[in-house]
Amino acid sequence: MKSLLKLIATLFLVFTLFLGILFLVFFFYLKITLPSISQLKNYRPQQTNIVLDVNGEVIGYIGKKRRIFVPLEKIPPHVVKAFIAAEDANFYKHKGIDFLSVLRALYKNIIHGKIVQGGSTITQQVVRALLLTPERTIQRKIKEIILAWQIEKHLTKNEILTIYLNHIYLGEGAYGVEAAALTYFNKHVWELDLNEAATIAGLPPAPSRYSPLRNPKLAIARRNYVLRRMAEVGYISWDTAKYVSTQPLVLNPKNVNIPLYAAYFIDAVKEELSQILPPKVVEQGGLKIQTTLDLEWIKRAYENSIRTLNKLFSSHKEVPEFAVVCLNNEDGGVRILIGGKDYRESSYNRAIFAKRQPGSAFKPFIWATAIDGGILLPDSIIPDEPITIPGADNGKDWSPRNYDNKYMGPINLKDALAYSRNTVSVRIALLTGLKKIEEMVKKLEFQFNQPINYSIALGTYEVTLLELTRAYTIFPNMGVLIKPHFIEKIYDKIYNSSKILYQYSSENKPVISAHTAYVMNGFMQAVVQYGTGKCAKALGVPVAGKTGTTQEYKDAWFVGYTPRYTCGVWVGYDKDKTLRRGETGGRVACPLWLSVMQGTAHEYQEFPIYIPFEELSKSFSNFTLSN
């Protein structure tokens, strides 16, 4: 009998030793295969990039995850305590694993017959979110425990809290407490009161289920649970918990999506951003991007434009598309960029990518080339009469006509532009010569895909609205061409604005002389005063510009400018379709331009760019032409 007992004891000892060795082998195997925790020491999560307009207003957020990192010192104590009370009351006491909490959670879940409390510590939740897969297996749980213990050895409690509060998913696409505070209450996390803090702290177990936007009753019940837990652990008094529990939950959800009217602009920002910074920097996020957009102006401009467009084309079966570009004359900052009626229906940006014939909107550059080259004087007289150019149209004779099929006889340059006389434009081009026109096209940086012929005088070569609007800036800028841009500055971190990664530096170049610009501004003011663009007079401030209409009324244009802004408008269909007979730039595009410009405050000052024609004529031979 004794030998039998001895044998059993020996076998038990051997078996126990075997299990112990097996456990140690398994333990060390797991430890070898564990991910490194070194990435947590220098924690920098993937964040959203915040995009601001020129006045510092938030346009929206771009990035894969809407997370805005905030240091722990910016998070109020009552917010931190709300999370600790709800998720891990012994956080400051344990070393990564809280076995008592696990047993307590198990007991409560059994009593309630469902999961009402989790047993994972905040440290374990950090492990699960950053280092392990979400699978539920014993092996993963053991890895989680080992890693939580290691993290507690290498990171301080505050470092762990910083990671947790910035990384955790809190519903509605918000990661971290700052994004959640903005999403649900349109506040920064440091502005949250106890009511709001407890609401957000109740979200981690089931963000969608407890979302106050989706299930306000459940969210309030969960908030009250967090308040009770805070009272139980001594963070707040029971009186405070009871009082706050009776308070209503007032939400102020922030629309974190890009506004419809700014969507085309944001696409352009993304493209420019990719040219400025490496993809890894952009994808990592945490950038504060200050753009050139005027958010309030584009909102009003878009709304006004849609109303005007619908009114103009109320009897049409299909309302046409439109595009708008407005530039700040001083530095080329794009204040408005609208690429179509509805970004949801088509993200194709017609302001930047659509190449269309500008028609008569190209004529000012023909006039400017002739005057700047000394070919014509400001008060030159040109006949508005029928003209035929032998062999100009693929070997056939070309006889351009005026829009109204009428002729005004001898006419000065100002009136010829104001009334948009086609035959005069062609005659000016013939006098100037293609070589000088080609040089002007090159200076203005137009990209044409075919050799230039004299039909360019009528705007037959395709341009984008952005190209054309940019070219017009040579007139209010006294002959200097500016480069459009969408981004003013980029800061490294959203809440640490001291480090500037990028700052725009203006790129300007002279194209025509200041005197030529003086002349052309006087001419194009006449277009608005009594010519084809006279609808723009209703703006009530000094305006200059030019209309454009293409053959068969397929495209309508107006590019107009004040001393501060140059804005271009295009109206047309994406398909090769006419707007309808009589839908000219003056009748269609100009009213749309007016509705855009009425969306912001304008300076009520005279153009500092007008000199009487007689003075220009006298001094014309005395100034030096710029090249």
Q: Are residues 456 and 336 in the same domain?
A: yes
Q: Which one of 245, 273, 301 terminates a domain?
A: 245
Q: In whole angstroms, what is the distance from residue 441 CA to residue 457 CA? A: 12
Kindly report the CATH number assigned to the domain that includes residue 365. 3.40.710.10
Q: In whole angstroms, what is the distance from residue 357 CA to residue 366 CA? A: 15
Answer yes or no: is 113 within a domain. Answer: yes
In this model, does residue 621 exceed pLDDT 50? no
> In the predicted model, what is the mean pLDDT of the chain?
87
Q: Which one of 245, 265, 292 terminates a domain?
A: 245
272 assigned to active site: no
What tokens appear for 363 in the block?
A: 């004529």
pTM: 0.82
Q: Are residues 240 and 333 in the same domain?
A: no
What 8-state DSSP symbol labels residue 300? H
In this model, does residue 614 exceed pLDDT 50? no
DSSP string over 511-556 = -S-HHHHHHHHHHHHHHHHHSTTGGGGGG-S--EEEEEE-GGG-EE
Mean of pLDDT values over 533-552: 94
The pLDDT of residue 143: 72
The tens digit of pLDDT for each residue in 34-61 reads 666 666 777 778 888 999 999 999 998 8
The pLDDT of residue 256: 76
Q: Are residues 131 and 232 in the same domain?
A: yes
pLDDT bin (cut points 50, 70, 90) of residue 484 is: very high
The pLDDT of residue 624: 28
Determine contact, residues 544/561, Cβ cutoff 8 Å: yes
152 assigned to active site: no
Q: Of the candidates 513, 441, 439, 506, which has an alpha carbon nearest to the alpha carbon of residue 479?
A: 513
Answer yes or no: is 370 within a domain. Answer: yes
The tens digit of pLDDT for each residue in 405-458 reads 999 999 999 999 999 999 999 999 999 999 999 999 999 999 998 899 999 999
List CB contacts of 164: < 8 A, sequence separation 6 or more. Answer: 83, 122, 125, 126
Answer yes or no: is 469 within a domain. Answer: yes
Q: Are residues 231 and 337 in the same domain?
A: no
Kindly report the CATH number assigned to the domain that includes residue 151. 1.10.3810.10
pLDDT bin (cut points 50, 70, 90) of residue 253 is: confident
In this model, does residue 494 exceed pLDDT 50? yes
The pLDDT of residue 608: 42
Q: Strands, E, within 63-150: which ranges?
A: 66-67
In this model, does residue 104 exceed pLDDT 70? no
Answer yes or no: is 273 within a domain. Answer: no
In this model, does residue 68 exceed pLDDT 50? yes
Answer yes or no: is 56 within a domain. Answer: no
Q: Are residues 211 and 338 in the same domain?
A: no
The pLDDT of residue 321: 97
The tens digit of pLDDT for each residue in 459-473 reads 999 999 999 999 999
Mean of pLDDT values over 300-311: 95
For 222, other C-beta atoms within 10 Å of its C-beta total 23
Give the active site residue among 101, 120, 245, 360: 360
Q: Are residues 126 and 238 in the same domain?
A: yes
Backbone angles phi, psi at 14, to 5 degrees: -65, -45
**Between residues 295 and 138, which one has the greater pLDDT?**
295
Q: Which one of 202, 228, 245 terminates a domain?
A: 245
Answer yes or no: is 395 within a domain. Answer: yes
Q: Are residues 329 and 238 in the same domain?
A: no
Q: In whole angstroms, what is the distance from residue 569 CA to residue 589 CA? A: 6
Answer yes or no: is 25 within a domain. Answer: no
Q: Are residues 241 and 329 in the same domain?
A: no
Q: Are residues 356 and 447 in the same domain?
A: yes
The pLDDT of residue 17: 67
Q: In whole angstroms, what is the distance from residue 403 CA to residue 567 CA? A: 24
Mean of pLDDT values over 542-557: 95
The pLDDT of residue 606: 46
In this model, does residue 200 exceed pLDDT 90? yes
Proportion of the chain above pLDDT 70, given as a percent = 84
Number of domains in the chain: 2
pLDDT bin (cut points 50, 70, 90) of residue 575 is: confident
The pLDDT of residue 135: 67
In this model, does residue 118 exceed pLDDT 80? no
Which residue range(s) make up the domain with 200?
A: 68-245
Answer yes or no: is 195 within a domain. Answer: yes
Q: Are residues 470 and 580 in the same domain?
A: yes
In this model, does residue 605 exceed pLDDT 50? no
Which of 237-241, 351-355, 385-389 is predicted with the least confidence, judged by mean pLDDT? 385-389
Q: In whole angstroms, what is the distance from residue 407 CA to residue 432 CA? A: 22
Q: Are residues 412 and 517 in the same domain?
A: yes
